Structure 1
């Protein structure tokens, strides 16, 4: 049976989530251990998925390190300022995550692991390039022009920034695994904006540095990015160079799994890659698509079914439950 869970399975598509979070900001809900744990558990109860994904956000480590950041409704993460000069970067890189700062995270993870029992919990963190891009841009961006410009205009400042982000997010991920998470996922939302040359020169090493924080803990590590079909072999190299002994590559909906497996040499387990748009396309189209994804997933040595990006907020939760039931019914 193919295991399945969904990125952003805990969140806005669930009425119980919206009821619980009413009156609480996104980042505050991530930092309240009882709330973060309950939100993580909600989709496991409702859908019968095979893993929980820790409810958090890419920018939570920044907030815990004292960086001014809020998640603006309908916009996304907005920084108190954009960090684009050597002096800006110097003001950041002395900040670190202390055990006291991480206490709400470790408490929430331990609470969740206890409640999940035999169901595994996946730890979650944002990749260094994505964190650095938010810091440089100051807010979400479609093309990340400022971040890409800094990478070339001031490579020393870029290197200091992305290495600091790697240690910050790596520490955040390690804390989750030490508290009981069974696997780790490094999520690179914006790496798809990079050329292969820019990824190799300005992002790959930082992802390796981040993942090295959990390499000695002997847990599977999933590296996922959006729009990264041209980067998949380089992303796998980032994971293996970190010393991860159980690497998994997440594949978005743009690259068929059999093609991804071919690109990766046919030896790497894959996660993905149901198109989130098909969740609203009707039962017939969705079932055909899910079956096709499962068939293509057999080209890899192992396959964890998932979406090729997060659950859209307007998704009917009953559709997700039916997808889980379908996947569990198919014998590969």
Structure 2
């Protein structure tokens, strides 16, 4: 069916049997790799994202250097607000800034939802180039931010621990919040379909700030849009949903059209299996901070994690992105421990 030399990830997402779990790491293309830091010192963030040759080079680094079973395109979730007409700046070590936030009906109506084909062409070019350079070695993952998480940035204007402004907006002006979420959802669906067309074998939707919501509010402001995206993309490619911190939604989401669901380290593998009832492939959930432990400890913990998830329908990954202070040989040890495992 595919001309991939290593299609472990896709097999696992389809629910087929494999001899071991596939492994990749969120944020694997980036800040813990010395070769990435060289490029970071030369080019600013959005130059790296918007230059297909640079994005490709960065995407390939962990394949060559760490040995993961999948490539994930180097990009950012905030390319969507940019494509919708909002300015986004990124300062090293400071995180993203959106100088002009969404505050009212007029600012929502002013957002562009057409033309993702043109405005985000650099992402599709990077995917196509990466696909060519990968030459079938491993599958290529595309991604987007989830509507709730994108709303958080658009309303708050910057990162936050609590997302008070975003939540206040949603709770006090729910009609406006849903109008904004619908707009984000429609451009995101188009964007992800075009990513698949350009070469992504599967796509992941990052709902990084879903965990700021209570279960009832998640059901209102996050879940409907996540499931809508999964349903729209299902005919095109398998979809992995990653609503960080929203363990309470696992049962509902496992009944959606998603092929996989990522979980963070705050949920035991046993409970994750129980909630998801074997309906979906699970991905996760190693604490990235644990990659700072001594290498023998990492290997032992990885084996325990896979044992706990039990055989099949499981993708070894972190419960969030790899942090900049992780030594490359520790990241490698994590990957090697998974590759040495046999069901």
TM-score range, shorter chain: over 0.9
Deviations 1:111-151 (A, max 9, x none): 10111122100111100000001101111111111111111
Q: How many residues align?
A: 323
Q: Distance in 2 between matches of 1:258 and 1:99?
A: 42
1:265 aligns with one of 255, 267, 277: 277
Determine the structure 1 residue equivalent to 2:132: 114
1:96 aligns with one of 94, 114, 119: 114
Range that drifts further, 263-272 or 206-215: 206-215
Q: TM-score, normalised by structure 2?
A: 0.90
What is the DSSP-based 3-state SS (H/G/I as helix, E as strand, rest coil) of the residue aligned with 1:125?
Answer: strand
Once superposed, what is the RMSD of the aligned Cα atoms? Answer: 1.5
What is the DSSP-based 3-state SS (H/G/I as helix, E as strand, rest coil) of the residue aligned with 1:11?
Answer: coil
Q: CA deviation at 1:266?
A: 2.4
Q: TM-score, normalised by structure 1?
A: 0.93
Determine the structure 2 residue equivalent to 1:307: 318
Q: CA deviation at 1:277?
A: 1.1
Range that drifts further, 33-42 or 255-264: 255-264
Contact 2:24 2:316 in 1 (8 A): yes
Does residue 151 (structure 1) correspond to residue 167 (structure 2)? The answer is no
Determine the structure 2 residue equivalent to 1:50: 69
Contact 1:105 1:176 in 2 (8 A): yes
**In 2 relative to 1, CA 266–209 (structure 1 residues): closer, same or farther, beyond 3 Å?**
closer
Q: Distance in 1 between matches of 2:80 and 2:101?
A: 17
Deviations 1:234-258 (A, max 9, x none): 3334x42xxx5xx101111111222
What is the DSSP-based 3-state SS (H/G/I as helix, E as strand, rest coil) of the residue aligned with 1:187?
Answer: strand
Q: CA deviation at 1:165?
A: 1.0
Q: Distance in 2 between matches of 1:215 and 1:328?
A: 28
Contact 2:116 2:190 in 1 (8 A): no
1:294 aligns with one of 296, 301, 306: 306
Q: Distance in 2 between matches of 1:78 and 1:236?
A: 34
Q: CA deviation at 1:59?
A: 0.2
Q: Distance in 1 between matches of 2:99 and 2:42?
A: 22
What is the DSSP-based 3-state SS (H/G/I as helix, E as strand, rest coil) of the residue aligned with 1:22?
Answer: helix
Relative CO higher for 1 or 2, CA cutoff 8 Å, sep ≥ 6?
2
Q: CA deviation at 1:216?
A: 2.3
Q: Distance in 1 between matches of 2:50 and 2:260?
A: 28
Determine the structure 2 residue equivalent to 1:105: 123
Q: Distance in 1 between matches of 2:45 and 2:243?
A: 22
Q: Distance in 1 between matches of 2:128 and 2:54?
A: 13
Does residue 235 (structure 1) correspond to residue 233 (structure 2)? The answer is no
What is the DSSP-based 3-state SS (H/G/I as helix, E as strand, rest coil) of the residue aligned with 1:216?
Answer: coil
| 5+ long unaligned stretches in structure 1 | none
Q: CA deviation at 1:209?
A: 2.8
Determine the structure 2 residue equivalent to 1:29: 48
Q: Distance in 2 between matches of 1:289 and 1:111?
A: 36
Determine the structure 2 residue equivalent to 1:167: 186
Range that drifts further, 260-269 or 36-45: 260-269
| 5+ long unaligned stretches in structure 2 | 1-19
Q: CA deviation at 1:314?
A: 1.0
Q: Distance in 2 between matches of 1:141 and 1:236?
A: 29
Contact 2:145 2:205 in 1 (8 A): yes
Q: CA deviation at 1:212?
A: 3.7
Q: Distance in 2 between matches of 1:266 and 1:170?
A: 26
1:77 aligns with one of 96, 121, 131: 96
